[in-house]
Structure 1
Amino acid sequence: GGSVQIVFETPASSKAPAGYMQSLSFGGRDHSIYVKSHLGYGLDAARSAMFDMLVQKKGGEKPIRHPCLPKGETMEYKQVSFVGDGDWHRCFKLQLKLFDNRSCPHSSCSFNGAFQPTLTQGFKGFSYMYDRTTAIGLLDGQPKQFGSQVMSQQDIATAGERLCALDKSEAARRFSTHQDASKSSNFCGDVAYVAALLTALGFPPSAQLTMTNKIKDVELVWTLGAMLAKSAELASAGSSFSPGLGWFVLAGVLLLAVYMKRQAGSGSYSSLRLDEFKK
């Protein structure tokens, strides 16, 4: 995946810069929606960025020790050799360096200077947020192809530390029946990245999120992220696209989200859609 999207309802603010907020009227109510696509922060892109960072920092080492790979693992990346070190704390610390939070030109930001209003409650994580937590049985050792599970960034970090302590053969055995078993050596780094991303987006360690790939028996896949990314692009493109087309696509996505939330019996509209856009 090449990017990650975050979408949630928030009170309209005059402090919001152009291009971040959209308005939607539905069900007799007006909704102010924050939409942001972070290009280059999908799971695949993050893995590559981590390798590049280590090459830049430790290019003189042969092989380079990678804290996010399990002990016993060896990999080649751009003709550079890596060996696994299986160290959660070093891995998580390095993942955090992928996000620049040194400056914020707005009233509030997430990372890389991107405006982001105060986070609300009722967040849901889709795509790799589910695939690298509930789907692999991260917290309870019980993989689930479909479903939902409530967790916090702190829960992910605690389970991630145990995961990163497994060597290559132990990780392979634990995930031998999983559909992504061939990628088990990536799981330590992937989980650390999810935890780092949530931190960079401003989630407190104890904040509860629901990782899921279904709402009311409706499966939600990576195409939701693609639609969100494209709708934001079209909405901000101005005269380059047909008038209103971006708004139409965005409205379709958000109406679907609101409809499914209503069907699920929730009266709150302060929901978030955090999803990967696969390219």
Structure 2
Amino acid sequence: MKKVTGPLPTSPLAAVWQQAPATDVAVLAQQMTTPKLAKASVNKITAQALTDGKSIAWRVSWQDAAPNSNVDVNRFSDAVALEFPLTEFAAPMMGHRGGGKVQILYWRGLWQKDVDEGFQDVQNVHPNYLNSHYWFANGEGPYRVPDSFTNPASHQWFIAKQAGNPMAKFSRSEPAQELIAEGWGTLTHQPESATTAKGVWKNGSWAVIFTRPLATDDPNDHQFAQGEKGEIAFAVWQGGEGNVGARKHWSLWTAYQMP
């Protein structure tokens, strides 16, 4: 990790990353719980970190022949996650029940495309698809989300959105979210997020940066402190290889030193 005097970069392709120390971290196919990833398609990620004394930026990069930023039947998004322990001796496999709590910062290529290009509706994936009628939609078909659904009464047919599912947002300002876990099956969305992110695919590889303050007021956030040692773990999904959910690549804890 390196301390810089200027502002932290907002792009994973910024020139300052060329001077940041880099660590290659081995990742394995997840084969400890179902559904398992039968075969690994990534064997390592490269991690870097910069801090200005107030905030920290982590950069993760890995080889991927083609970007996957749409979803459909048997079509999944590329993604990457950082994990930090919230309790001592928490397991790197999303923590463990009975006190092994972790925080996870999660980025998806699908969300990055939503932020960069606008919400991806069904028509973006299937241009010739048409549904002739939606209750309380505005204007005439083909109806597009979210533009044709400004009437609050129309939202009652979007069940996931009405239930408050964070995966069902009509608009998204950040391509990442914060989560906590205490073992498999306990992954929980944090309603407030201090993390910003940006991912770029170029020349056969993804580079994603996560940026957040060193310290926050949220008890479910990992807290960074100058001069301290810590641990970080990683997970990566290649959508083009059928990676989704537990079908992922993951790493053990990797030590880091705050400057």
Using the size of structure 2 for normalisation, the TM-score is 0.28
Q: Which has the higher helix share?
A: 1
Q: Which has the higher strand share?
A: 2
Using the size of structure 1 for normalisation, the TM-score is 0.27
